[in-house]
Amino acid sequence: MYPSSEKRFLAINYISVVALFLLILAGGVVRSTGSGMGCPDWPKCFDQYIPPTHISQLPANYHEKYVDKRIRKNERFAKTLDLLGYGDLAYRIRNDKSILKPDEFNAAKTWTEYVNRLLGALVGLFLIACVVASITYLRTRSRIFFWSLFNLFLVGFQGWLGSIVVSTNLLAWVVTIHMLVAIAILAISIYTYYEARSLRDKSVLTNIGSVLVTILAYTGLILTVVQITLGTEVREQIDMVSTLMSDLNRSEWVSQVGANFIYHRDLAILVIIVNVVSFVLIRKRYPVAGYQYKYISYVFLLIVLQIITGLILSYVGLPPVAQAIHILLATLVFGAQFYLLLLLKKSRLEILN
């Protein structure tokens, strides 16, 4: 039986997790439609809270205006990198002329990016609410509060990083870090939700210890993170290929990507093997009605769907819808694997507590 304050936290946290998945989907739509620079500034869009719908609403010199802003912001970012000892990265940012290339106004892309930002702001509000609601755990399970608070700081960092993504004109490694931070925020939200559940619901803690299953769960989770990282880099390389080919011959883009795509494709085989073995072992050792079997089933189903979308991307000319769904499925796999790992790690001592 949950006290009302704990029910409130669980509800807000659950909504936050769902909103995070929606935000990742929105980010996938932004990437797949090439809308990342739909708003050339941050946090506003063309210096407006409600972005324009027609080029006539913009000043005549809007290209120069936002390029100048970008130069100043990138110089501040480069100085920060210098102080942190990343002089080579700072040099590349200062001398990468592609960063300064302005995009032509496109109302559809502007509003696609704007909706993505609105979702991001909404997620931020939900995570603030999570911190407030988690105060109830300060006496019973304080780590829920402190992790929720840390997650809020991480969201602030993610917002700043989003501004760098814009100012650097979608610089590849910055986009990759932006995606990995999003995964970290998702993981913390799932963790705090689980900790709150397990405080009262002891059935969540029921576990048959298995070192092999736990190792496989860790391996599957790490492989998924690697796959997400490689997939992000593949997407960035496809963007470069599309630019070089003037957005023509879309069906040939994948063949031009190179080694990262091959690693990403071949690693999928290892992902399948690890998760099939995990599925078989959990099916043998855990009850069918248990949480462990439930979540490994989710993982297996999501991986199958992800592979299907991957094949569509490879052989049907990278349809934007499939790109966005592929990214969403990857994060759903991560979420299910992470929750499964939490289910597997709980010990008998914690059950007694």
> Is-contact 96 170, C-beta < 8 A?
no
Q: What are the φ and ψ backbone dihedral angles of 340, each rounded to 5 degrees?
A: -60, -40
Q: How many CB atoms lie within 10 A of CB 315?
A: 10
What is the spatial distance between Cα 126 and Cα 17, in angstroms, rounded to a whole number? 9
Domain-terminating residue out of 200, 216, 251: 200
Cα 116 to its chain centre, rounded Å, is 13
User: What pLDDT is stored for residue 353 in this prediction?
Assistant: 44
Are 81 and 165 found together in one domain?
yes
What is the spatial distance between Cα 117 and Cα 95, in angstroms, rounded to a whole number? 29
- The residue segments making up the domain with residue 214 are 202-353
Domain-terminating residue out of 162, 182, 200: 200
Closest CA to 166 of 244, 114, 241: 114
Are 31 and 146 found together in one domain?
yes
Are 98 and 213 found together in one domain?
no
Find the mean pLDDT for residues 67-82: 84
Decide if pLDDT at 349 tops 50: no
Q: Helix H segments across 201-258?
A: 211-244
Amino acid at 257: V
Are 183 and 67 found together in one domain?
yes
Are 329 and 353 found together in one domain?
yes
Domain-terminating residue out of 167, 200, 233: 200
Are 121 and 216 found together in one domain?
no
Q: How confident is the model at residue 206 (pLDDT cuts 50, 70, 90)?
A: low
What is the spatial distance between Cα 267 and Cα 330, in angstroms, rounded to a whole number? 14
Higher pLDDT, residue 260 or 49: 49
User: What pLDDT is stored for residue 241 in this prediction?
Assistant: 72
pLDDT, one tens digit per residue, over 115-171 is 999 999 999 999 999 999 999 999 999 999 999 999 999 999 998 888 888 777 767
Are 162 and 230 found together in one domain?
no
Dihedral-angle region of residue 46 (phi above 0 means left; psi in -120 to 50 means alpha; beta otherwise): left
Q: CA neighbours within 13 Å on the CB side: how many for 118?
A: 9
pLDDT, one tens digit per residue, over 75-121 is 888 888 888 888 888 888 888 777 777 778 899 999 999 999 999 99
Are 292 and 276 found together in one domain?
yes
> Is-contact 213 352, C-beta < 8 A?
no
Are 209 and 175 found together in one domain?
no
> Is-contact 254 238, C-beta < 8 A?
yes
Total domains in the chain come to 2
Are 179 and 218 found together in one domain?
no
Are 28 and 152 found together in one domain?
yes
Cα 60 to its chain centre, rounded Å, is 36
